[in-house]
Amino acid sequence: MNDDAPVRVRSLVKRFGRFTALDGLDLEVAAGQVHGFLGPNGAGKSTTIRVLLGLYRPDGGTVRVLGRDPAHEASAINREISYVPGDVALWPNLTGGQALDTLAGLRGRRDRAREEELVERFELDPTKKVRTYSKGNRQKVALVAALAAPTRLLVLDEPTSGLDPLMERVFTEEIARASAQGRTVLLSSHILAEVQHLCSAVTIIKQGRVVEHGDLETLRRLARTQIEIRADDQTLNRAAAELEDRGIPADRADDQLSVQVESALVPRAMEVVAACRVTDVRCGPASLEDLFLRHYEDAR
Amino acid sequence: MSTTVNPTPTVHDAAPRRPVTRPGRTGPLRGLGPSVRLLLRRLRVQVLAWTLPLWLLVAATPPAYEDVYPSLQERELLVQSMRDTAGTRLLYGVLPLPGRIGQLVQWETGTYLLICAALMAILLTCRSMRADEDDGLVEVQRGSGVGHLVPFIAPVLVVWGAVALFAGGAGLVLTVLTGSVTELTVPGAWALAGAIAVTGWAFAALAALACQLCRQTGPARGLALAALGCSFALRVLADESETGRLRWFTPLAWRDLVRPYSDDRVWPLAVCAGACVLLTVVAARLFARREYLGGYLPDRSSSRRRWRLSGYPDLQARLALRAMAAWSVTVAAASALFGAMASSITELFAPDSATSSYVEKMASGSPVEQFMELLTIMTVLLVAVAGAQRVNALAADERAGLVEFEASVGGSRARMFVAQAGVAVVESVVLLALSGAVLAAMTGTQFTDDHAVGRAFVFTVSQLPGVLATIGIALALVGLAPRLSALVWAVVGWSVFAQFFGGLVELPDWAQDLSVLGHHLDVVGDPDWGPLAVQATIGIAGALIGLLAYRRRDLAR
């Protein structure tokens, strides 16, 4: 294992009563990496993150964050970490600005200019009461505080779930900027496309265990393109047969045909589509759910 | 029909599941039934926690009165002095003549029942009506097609039902006791039950009104509790006024219009119940016109000025400021009211009289000592409640996810725990000093004999170890098991019972002493440090246990 890695988790076990949330989980995030932490709902992503922050006590395994044990030195570690929770809770009576002041005051360090820049970029109105904020706006407060804080490690737990597409783009740019400055990012998500877009490495977990981990190449290998076509019965039958001939299995529903192919096979599949003169074609990245359906149904 | 065989009879023969609400039914009350059932399910434990101990209190006091004062003659002096005593008049109102056991019960125990019914009604109404709206539960409810009046009507029905259960149970207990305590009557039992019910309903209605006026649960609860405080003060005024007409305007005096065990009048009950319905209708109209999450009073919850924060204790101090100001006003007002009553002490508690023997059941020593001890227990109770509430805010913040966020920016658990404990202790010290100073100053304007002024101050502030013990127990609970943090109220409740009723129901001495309230130093004689040392030790031990546990456990959400 790499001793310099900001996050090193080995055989982590966490139980809640009889329920085992994490069952021998391994996770390593190298310095400067933007690391995707993927898994379906309830896979144990937030539990892992809470162990990293020292909020939960592990029942087994070793955990090192920035070279220290969060079970004993959470306070010192967390000063170096920026965390954005999945469901941001803030003091309802304060304004967004006062919440930022509070978070900076608690941390004891602050980059005021950077914070103001981020408030502008995320189009946050800091004079409004937290109580009146939507989920997305509460998330923006947490994101501004996290990105502006002078820290080495960013831990983000599904940070874009409340953001609109425009703000998601700002988020993407800011993560790229943080990475360029040498900061390490652990990004938990259940959206494969987001991770593919941002991350250079990935760990995929299910039911508290790692089912896949690797670098950009792994991500690329995992990535699939979903192609859906609609046409009359005869055309669909013909397309299905030709796809089969080229080694691409197709799913046939009533009036549509769908296939999932790795990127290298996309041109071959599109040839068939073009040859059959299909006009109603949809093409896009396959979701994490599809990936799990395809790959990891029997991971346990 | 032919007898065909069904291959899977168990599944297919089962009747189709009935939908929870009948399809097609619309209107402002759609889904009322399921909403009421859901609320009942959520609040049942709280309702039982309020009612069961109080039913036990109702069951225990009449036999105790009969034991101590078996006949009316033996009670004569006591009754007369209780009627004249400023302190008891202040707390319980005017004791009716001739002072039968029922009259004593409705006067003393009845007062506690009225206040507890009011508190229960206020807290449950604010929880189920306004906090649910703040938490987004009303949104979920309305989003699933529930009629627009249901988020108002369901809490009203459930709280009115809880109050009726509480009052009905008390009436039933007193009816059963007519078998063993001969002076009790069945109409008296139900007249008292009726008085408790209308009082509880009135405060449920007032709380419902406060929930429409304010924009959040906290201020709404504060406003409703302030109404309870004003109602108490108005009752005292009504008792001292010639005509007593003021009684109609304060629910806490409605009992004295019904006159349980004296006249058992039914018509005031009907009038008061009508007033409760009227208040509720007004609140309902305000609710119907109000915007979701809105309110009629302007929002002054805090300034919008930006902060320069120096750390976690600073944050807690800022967040505590508003509650602390409210507590200061409450404690100062109560102390001033009690101090103003000190003038009549000299006429009372003649040594060796029936009065002093009665009061000795609750307090001991000279008249001044007895008076001050009784009243400082009430004022220090307020401080203990403030302290416990401050500590329990740590558990509430944890449930809300705030502690998680505070820890994630580098707040150490130990520092957060100690800061919260520190704020609670500082708040208690300030409140005790304020209460002692106001009580002493007000007493000083009326009466200075027998170290009255010094005792007013010392009796109050020397109960600090008791308040520390309360805080320590609350800290231990928050550290060990935040879900059980409400258990600290059982400790406070027991202490009140042991101090006010312990003597009457003849609890053993050790059980009476088992109290966070009422242990204090005196300005004359040898100080008895023993109980204070025990309380301080409990406080420190509780804080340490809590701190150790808090550092080791998962910070849940």
> Does the structure show a pLDDT above 50 at B10?
no
Tell me the mean pLDDT in the region B358-378.
Answer: 72
pLDDT above 50 for A241: yes
Provide the CB-side half-sphere exposure for B321 (13 A, CA).
10
As a CATH number, domain A224-295 is 3.30.70.120
The Cα-based distances of A223 to A191, A219, A257, B326 in angstroms read 12, 6, 20, 60
Residue type at A44? G
Distance CA A10, CA A29 (A): 12
ipTM, 2 dp: 0.78
Q: What is the pLDDT of residue B259?
A: 94
Which residues of chain B lie closer than 8 angstroms to A112, CB-CB? none
Query: How many cross-chain Cβ pairs, A to B, lie less than 8 Å apart?
Result: 105
pLDDT band at B14 (very low <50, low <70, confident <90, very high): very low
Instruction: Please tell me the predicted confidence (pLDDT) of residue B391.
Output: 95
pLDDT (average), residues B313-334: 90
CB atoms closer than 10 angstroms to residue B418: 17
User: Does residue B308 sit at the A interface (CB-CB below 8 Å)?
Assistant: yes
CA distance B408 to chain A (A): 6
The highest-confidence range among A108-112, B366-370, B490-494, by mean pLDDT, is: B490-494
Q: Where are the beta strands (DSSP E) in chain A?
A: 7-16, 19-29, 34-38, 60-65, 81-84, 153-157, 184-189, 201-206, 209-215, 225-230, 251-252, 256-261, 280-285
With CB atoms and an 8 Å threshold, state whether B408 touches A81: yes
Query: What element of type H or E holds B278?
Result: helix B267-289
Q: Is the pLDDT of residue B362 over 60?
A: no
CA distance A172 to chain B (A): 23
pLDDT interval class at A261 (50, 70, 90): confident
Tell me which of A238-247, B7-16, B93-102 is least confident: B7-16
B412 touches chain A (CB under 8 A): yes
- What is the CATH number that goes with domain A7-217? 3.40.50.300
Angle, helices B32-68 vs B150-177, to 10°: value is 30
B68 vs B464, which has greater pLDDT? B464
| Local confidence band at B341 (pLDDT 50, 70, 90 cut-offs) | confident
User: What per-residue confidence (pLDDT) applies to A7?
Assistant: 95
- A50 band by pLDDT with thresholds 50, 70 and 90: very high
Q: What value does the mean pLDDT take over residues B137-165?
A: 90
Secondary structure element (H or E) that encloses residue B328, with its range: helix B312-340
Q: What confidence tier does B17 reach under pLDDT thresholds 50, 70, 90?
A: low
The confidence score (pLDDT) of residue B245 equals 87
**Interface touch A98/B312, C-beta < 8 Å:** no
Q: Is A56's CB within 8 Å of B555's CB?
A: yes
Task: Indicate yes or no: CB of B411 within 8 angstroms of CB of A145.
Answer: no
Q: Is B133 on the interface with A (CB under 8 A)?
A: no
Sign of CA dihedral B532, B534, B540, B546: negative
Residues in A whose CB is inside 8 Å of some CB of B read: 50, 53-57, 74-76, 78-79, 81, 83, 85, 87-95, 97-98, 101-108, 127, 129, 131, 142, 145, 149
Residues of B in contact with A186 (CB under 8 A): none
Residue keyed to tokens 């202490």: B495
Domain extents in chain A:
7-217, 224-295
Residue A227, phi then psi, degrees to nearest 5: -120, 130
Please, what is the Cα angle at B455 between B534 and B510, to 5 degrees? 30
**What would the pLDDT profile of B402-423 be if each residue is shown by its tens digit?**
998 888 888 889 999 999 999 9
Confidence of residue B309 (pLDDT cuts 50, 70, 90): confident
Which of A78, A91, A97 minimises the CB distance to B410? A78
In this structure, of A51-60, B20-29, B214-223, B245-254, the range with the lowest mean pLDDT score is: B20-29
Residue B62 burial by CB count (10 A; 0-12/13-18/19+): exposed, middle or buried? buried
- Asked if pLDDT for residue B346 goes beyond 60, the answer is no
Distances (CA, A) of B437 to B321, B385, B433: 21, 19, 6
- Give contacts of A91 with chain B, Cβ < 8 Å: 319, 402
Half-sphere exposure (Cβ direction) of A155: Cα atoms closer than 13 Å: 26
Task: Verify whether the Cβ–Cβ distance B554 to A56 is below 8 Å.
Answer: yes
CA nearest A127 in B: which residue?
A: B304
pLDDT over 80 at B296, yes or no: yes
CA distance A33 to A199: 8
Cβ separation B301–A93 shorter than 8 A: yes
Contact yes or no for A105 and B315 at CB 8 A: yes
Interchain CB distance below 8 Å, B401 and A94: no
Token pair recorded at residue B80: 């007369």
Phi, psi of A11 (to 5 degrees): 50, 45
Instruction: Say if residue B212 is exposed, middle or buried (CB neighbours under 10 Å; 0-12, 13-18, 19+).
Output: buried
CB contact under 8 Å between B310 and A88, yes or no, is no
CA distance B106 to B114: 10
Nearest to B309 among A54, A56, A101 (CB): A101
* Cβ neighbours of A54 in B, within 8 Å: 407
Environment class of A1 (CB within 10 Å of its CB; exposed 0-12, middle 13-18, buried 19+): exposed
Say which residue, B515 or B309, is predicted with more confidence: B515
Tokens standing for residue B497: 């019972």
What's chain B's average pLDDT?
87
Tokens of B385: 């409640």
Q: Where are the beta strands (DSSP E) in A95-152?
A: none
From start to end of B446-545, where are the E strands? none
Name the residue ranges covered by the structural domains of chain B: 109-291, 310-557
The pLDDT of residue A294 is: 67
Strand A184-189 and strand A153-157: pairing? parallel
pLDDT at B24 over 80: no
Question: Does residue B515 carry a pLDDT above 80?
Answer: yes
Mutate to test the interface with A, among B409, B552, B555 (most CBs of A within 10 A): B409
Mean pLDDT within B222-245: 87
- Is the predicted pLDDT of residue A1 greater than 80, yes or no? no
Q: Please, is B3 exposed, middle or buried when counting C-beta atoms within 10 Å of its C-beta (0-12, 13-18, 19+)?
A: exposed
Output the six-digit token pair for A1: 């294992």
* Least confident stretch, A207-216, B108-117, B432-441, B520-529: B520-529
Contact at CB, A75 and B314, closer than 8 angstroms: no
First to last CA, chain B: 60
Task: Assess whether pLDDT exceeds 70 at residue B5.
Answer: no
- Write down the pLDDT at residue B359: 54
